[in-house]
Homo-oligomer: A and B are copies of this chain.
């Protein structure tokens, strides 16, 4: 049987050492990691070849083996990412607020690490390093549970990172990888309430649902984005075409890509042919409602109920003509995953109605949904885009990997 407890306890122990480690030591560890990833890239690539080969032999889909695959350039990219984390400000120790109460108590609210962060993710070795680096910088011990297909690569990456953490004088158990990639190990991590402070699943909707339904550890849901763009009757048509094209085709496999376009009926006949022409250049398949089909003809397939609810992550777009902004809002409320939603309009009342009525992490007026990202928002590297409402919403950077504590200094005050 998989025994999580010793791992959890050593992570808690390590988190205490990390919490009081200074920024310089943490940055030293990160810079060492970046250097060692490069200098030991042969070891990494050898293991990665073996992982990819085994995955291919098992018949894993090519889109998935592509996520698993590393080459020199990708390793360099990962190392650069670690250096970027080193360059970010340290959130730990920030005094968020403070005051002296009438009775003389001096109260301050100080930012501290969460403690132990669990990350469950798929077979993407880059996540192993990204997540560990962000946890380290924010003073948290990381317990990584990656997908089984990447386990050989992940073991090498974790060993390199642990060496570097130790060399920098920090507890190596600040980074732990679960070598057991069975369902049982994921389950143990989900039930480690008291040993793990937060669980961040990174992956598809199924993984996230499983964590929400099974975990006793608090979960922050990330990264499922069924994002909509509503083109209002008062929209600039060319701007709408540019934004939809960008949001659909610039990188269709990511969570902030657009999946459904809603079009006000008054401009549907003008917009839709222009949009189709633009999307045809990327061979985007359009699945439309009846009116969309009437306007665009037989190349459009029928959108089903399932289409409205699907995050395609592909060159497919669902299109629906709506009677007015209220119908658009209703549709989004029904199908949105609370990630990124957009209105294209020149009407101020329409923009205000939309931004007020839509409940999502990011609500856009006249810009591509693709901007929902830590760097684009000026927050730096992120561990994911939270679609949860508690604790963190939107890009989860270093600050979102912390909590607070109140420190109260007195001189013998007692309560009356």
Contact = CB atoms under 8 A, between A and B. Distances in A.
A64 interface: no
Interface string A102-120: 0001010100101100000
B405 A218 contact: no
Contacts of A360: 405
A23 to B, nearest CB: 15
**Copies of this chain per assembly:** 2
A376 B415 CA distance: 9
Given A99-B378, A390-B198, A406-B362, A242 B414 contact: yes
A414 B218 contact: no
Contacts of A409: 351, 364-367
A389 to B, nearest CB: 4
A144 interface: no
A365 B403 contact: no
B239 A412 contact: yes
A356 interface: yes
Given A20-B356, A212-B193, A415-B246, A376 B410 contact: no
A213 interface: yes
A99 B379 CA distance: 11
A415 B371 contact: yes
Interface in A200-216: 212-213, 216
B101 A376 contact: yes
Contacts of A219: 218
Interface in A244-288: 245-247, 250
Contact of A197 (B236, B361, B389): B389
Interface in A364-410: 364-368, 370-372, 376-378, 388-391, 393-394, 403-410
A67 to B, nearest CB: 21
Interface of A: 16, 19-20, 99, 101, 105, 107, 109, 112, 114-115, 193, 197-198, 212-213, 216, 218-220, 236, 239, 242-243, 245-247, 250, 351, 355-357, 359-368, 370-372, 376-378, 388-391, 393-394, 403-415
Given A107-B378, A242-B412, A245-B414, 17 more contacts: A20-B356, A20-B357, A105-B371, A212-B216, A213-B216, A218-B218, A218-B219, A218-B388, A236-B412, A239-B412, A361-B405, A363-B406, A364-B410, A366-B409, A367-B411, A376-B415, A394-B406
Q: What are the 5 closest A-B residue pairs judged by CB atoms, nearest first?
A: A367-B410, A246-B414, A370-B415, A391-B391, A389-B403
